[in-house]
Amino acid sequence: MAGLVPAIHVFLLNLMMWMPDDRAGHEMKTKRIFPVIDLYTWTTPNGRKVSIALEEFGLPYTVHPIDISKDEQFAPAFLKIAPNNRIPAIVDRDTNIALMESGAILIYLADKTGKLMPKSGEGRYRVIEWLMWQMGGPGPFLGQVHHFVKFNPGKSAYAEERYAKEAKRLWGVLDRRLAEVEYVAGDYSIADIAIWPWISRFAWQTVDFAEHSNIKRWYMAIAERPAVKRGWDVLKEGRAIPIP
Ligand SMILES: N[C@@H](CCC(=O)N[C@@H](CS)C(=O)NCC(=O)O)C(=O)O
């Protein structure tokens, strides 16, 4: 009888794992047994930040693809989890906390696991500093380079020039920082995980890796991490990490 209780528990957990979830999008790809985190994501830099972080943290998770090319991010069920209609978002089944905004999610997961961000002191603020730099700089501005330079050339010379110039400036800031430190906040942290997927789209950004040797050193070191490789291809499309 004593052995039956855990067996029933395991059975119920497995059943839960396979039950359809109507919270968003189409269902469902199981990463590991007993997932703790529901991840709503797509194959974009902001989405990859969180899948890479989950792999680094070793947290079991279930992937819910939200195909933003089919406007699945606007599904009313997804809006309940992510009121801004953008991926990524998570639901933590341990705590029932739903979170949108990749920066907030990374801080939450670092605090939950006690990994990849110091708990206190200057080191913690250094991680937050570079994480916020990513959220306010490379995220929105490199995104605009992709939008105007890569996908809509010729629509606005002003926008192309403005955002390409900003991309060059941001790459310069990062390269100078990485001349001083191994990783942006000293040790490898969620700040690197936030920045790296944006740099991985270097081919769209009108910048030259050859002029940014410090970024190249950092980029390659992170690209070789097994957790990064797994988190990169979270939707199992077989796409390789771009190598400069
Ligand atoms: N600040 C947000 C940005 C999220 C974001 O822009 N996500 C994009 C994909 S990278 C998206 O969902 N786009 C859908 C759309 O534009 O409708 C974050 O970091 O989570």
Ligand 1 touching residue 101 (CB < 6 A): yes
Cα 30 from Cα 52, distance rounded (Å): 16
pLDDT band at 204 (very low <50, low <70, confident <90, very high): very high
| Ligand 1: nearest atom to the Cα of 101 | 20
- The better pLDDT of the pair 22, 62 is held by 62
Ligand 1 touching residue 44 (CB < 6 A): yes
Question: How many angstroms does the Cα of residue 51 sit away from the middle of ligand 1?
Answer: 15
Per cent of the chain over pLDDT 70 is 86
- Tell me which of 27-31, 39-43, 196-200 is least confident: 27-31
Ligand 1 touching residue 102 (CB < 6 A): yes
∠205-107-71 over CA atoms, to 5°?
Answer: 55
| For residue 31, pLDDT beyond 70 | no
Question: Each residue of 119-162: pLDDT tens digit?
Answer: 999 999 999 999 999 999 999 999 999 999 999 999 999 999 99
Ligand 1 touching residue 166 (CB < 6 A): no
| For residue 213, pLDDT beyond 80 | yes
Ligand 1 touching residue 67 (CB < 6 A): no
Question: How many angstroms does the Cα of residue 204 sit away from the middle of ligand 1?
Answer: 17
Question: How many angstroms does the Cα of residue 140 sit away from the middle of ligand 1?
Answer: 9
Per the structure block, which two tokens stand in for 217? Answer: 């050193």
**What's the pLDDT score for residue 142?**
96
- Give one DSSP letter per residue of 73-119, joined into a string: GG-HHHHHH-TT--S-EEEETTTTEEEESHHHHHHHHHHHHT-SS-S
Q: Quote the mean pLDDT of the chain.
A: 89
Q: Mean pLDDT across the stretch 172-201?
A: 98
pLDDT band at 35 (very low <50, low <70, confident <90, very high): confident
Cα 195 from Cα 133, distance rounded (Å): 9
**What's the pLDDT score for residue 150?**
95
Q: Which residues pair with 38 in a beta bridge?
A: 62, 91
**What's the pLDDT score for residue 3?**
38
- Tell me which of 11-25, 94-108, 180-194 is least confident: 11-25
Cα 180 from Cα 200, distance rounded (Å): 21
| For residue 53, pLDDT beyond 80 | yes
| Ligand 1: nearest atom to the Cα of 66 | 12
- Of 72, 87, 99, 141, the residue with max ligand 1 atoms within 8 A of its CB, to mutate for a pocket test, comes to 87
Question: Each residue of 157-182: pLDDT tens digit?
Answer: 999 999 999 999 999 999 999 999 99
Cα 189 from Cα 53, distance rounded (Å): 9
- Give one DSSP letter per residue of 128-186, joined into a string: HHHHHHHHHTIIIIIHHHIIIIIISTTS-HHHHHHHHHHHHHHHHHHHHHHHH-SBTTB
Q: Mean pLDDT across the stretch 185-211?
A: 96
Cα 26 from Cα 65, distance rounded (Å): 7
Strand 37-41 vs strand 61-65: parallel, antiparallel, or unpaired? parallel
**What's the pLDDT score for residue 33?**
54
Cα 232 from Cα 177, distance rounded (Å): 24
